[in-house]
Structure 1
Amino acid sequence: MHNVGFFRKEKVILDTKCRECGMEFSETERMLRHMIKAHTKKKPSCNC
């Protein structure tokens, strides 16, 4: 049998600095919550 999980690539985020705005956080989990809250809002394409 082959180990199928061996070939999977999982992204593991260990950074504590936001890639979007450069803010530093004490824990990775806090940085991830910040990314979701601050940087996932859709920007309007038109201000009509």
Structure 2
Amino acid sequence: MSQLARISWLVTVGICLITAVILLISGYDGYAGVTLAVAIAAGINLT
């Protein structure tokens, strides 16, 4: 995997995690869970 691809996946995971935390704080538990699942799925591409 190229360095640029790895950086783009890291940015995607980071944005999803930040979004999940914001949604959780706002009380949107279901959407936070879905966003966390997307972050985990994107994180799989880092291996």
Greater RCO (Cα-Cα under 8 Å, separation 6 or more): 2
What is the TM-score with the length of structure 1 in the denominator?
A: 0.33
Name whichever structure is richer in helix by fraction: 2
TM-score (norm 2): 0.34
Q: Which has the larger radius of gyration?
A: 1
